[in-house]
Structures are given as structure tokens and as C-alpha cells.
Amino acid sequence: EIVLTQSPGTLSLSPGERATLSCRASQSVSSSYLAWYQQKPGQAPRLLIYGASSRATGIPDRFSGSGSGTDFTLTISRLEPEDFAVYYCQQYGSSRTFGQGTKLEIK
Amino acid sequence: EVQLVESGGGLVQPGGSLRLSCAASGFTFSSYDMHWVRQATGKGLEWVSAIGTAGDTYYPGSVKGRFTISRENAKNSLYLQMNSLRAGDTAVYYCARVIMPTGAFDIWGQGTMVTVSS
């Protein structure tokens, strides 16, 4: 099973700042089958990024994904108030596993 | 509108059974792989099961042999039969659609709560 480790566990930033979230896999994720989701309290997760770097429909371009192999990054270029949430990475190249999440909170 | 709506959650005793349903609308249900994902309160996401368009099924070790995923395309419905339930199965259960060919989950239901407790 591929284990995904997200860092940091909590990220405290202010609106307008840049956020960089990391997701590291215990083994290579094939064909960049890596996705990022956003989840707000009481809501289902929302797909942000698939294939490591492709934005899902309707996702603002301040969200971007990068990486390959075992190291992946989600970047939010300028934080908006609605971006404060929990973010999960997921791999779907070998079975399916999620990272433990990064909580992005307002500083 | 593309939508998934789960139902069937509730309180069940350890060792009991429960069947969850997921009603799909707004898209051609039979053309999509479908999955169940769960989330214990305050915890992360855990993949529970998958079913392909041909009816092929997949499970992680934590539920294999206890849970059964199925689909009824004529009714645009997905199911999860859960047997031998344990306290550790307590969670919100989401059904989710896979966007092809990427494999990511692009549409999620609102979730249904399952509580296993005596």
C-alpha cells in the first residue's frame, strides 16, 4: 500500500499570502495519478487537482499542482478567505489512499 | 444537475448489518466507475470500495469479506452492504463518481452517518 504523508499538519497564514502544501508518497505514484481535495467543515470533499497538475472544472487558477514520482505540491498563490479548509492528497495509481490532511487556518 | 444522494445510515449494534444506498442523477450512471469513501469524526478520508462499469469490485483489506458494493444501473443506484460491523466502522460514508480517464473523484454525495455502538 502506498502511504501518503502530508506536511505541515497545520499551516497558519493570512489572506493574500501564498500557501505551499506538500504530499510525499512512500513509493512512486504511477503516471502522476495524484489528486488534491479541499474539505470544509460539514461538507463533502471537493476535487481541486487531478493528474498532479490539472485543475478540475470551476477551480480558480490561484490553485496549482505540481510534482511527480514521490513528491507533490499544492500551491495557492494568493489566499482568499474561502480557501481556509482542510486539504487532502490522494493517489489512485495503486489501489487508492489518502494523505492525513493539512489544515489551512487563518493566522 | 449532477448529483449523488446517500441514504440508509443509522445506529447499529456491533456485529450487525446495514445497507447504504446512493441515488445518482444528472449523468449516465452506467458509464462511470463508482466508489464509497468514509470519514470518521475528526479524522481523514478512507477509501472503502469500488465498482467498475462492468461490475468488477475492489476493497481494501479493512473491509474485504465484510462489505459488498453493488450497482443497479436501471435504477441509477449504488449500494454498500455492510456486515459484521465494528465500532471502527463508525463514520460518514460518501459515494463518489470517478472522472475518467483521470481516476479522481469529481462528484461526491453529502454523506450518510453510520454509528456502530451498543
In this prediction, the residues of chain A whose per-residue pLDDT falls under 70 are 31
At residue B101, the pLDDT reads 77
- DSSP 8-state symbol, A3: -
**Each residue's pLDDT tens digit, B54-109:** 999 999 999 999 999 999 999 999 999 999 999 999 999 999 999 877 789 999 99
Rounded to the nearest angstrom, the minimum Cα separation between A26 and chain B is: 17
Q: Does A84 reach chain B within 8 Å, measured CB to CB? A: no
**Each residue's pLDDT tens digit, B14-60:** 999 999 999 999 999 999 999 999 999 999 999 999 999 999 999 99
The residue of chain B with its CA nearest to that of A3 is B46
Percent of chain B with pLDDT over 90: 96
d(CA B78, CA B99): 16
Rounded to the nearest angstrom, the minimum Cα separation between B33 and chain A is: 13
At residue B48, the pLDDT reads 97
Phi/psi at A81 (5° precision): -55, -30
d(CA A103, CA A21): 10
Give chain A positions within 8 Å (CB) of B109: 44
Give chain A positions within 8 Å (CB) of B108: 44-46
Give chain B positions within 8 Å (CB) of A45: 45, 94, 105, 108
Phi/psi at A11 (5° precision): -125, 120
Residue type, A79: L
3-class DSSP state for residue A55? strand
d(CA B55, CA B33): 9
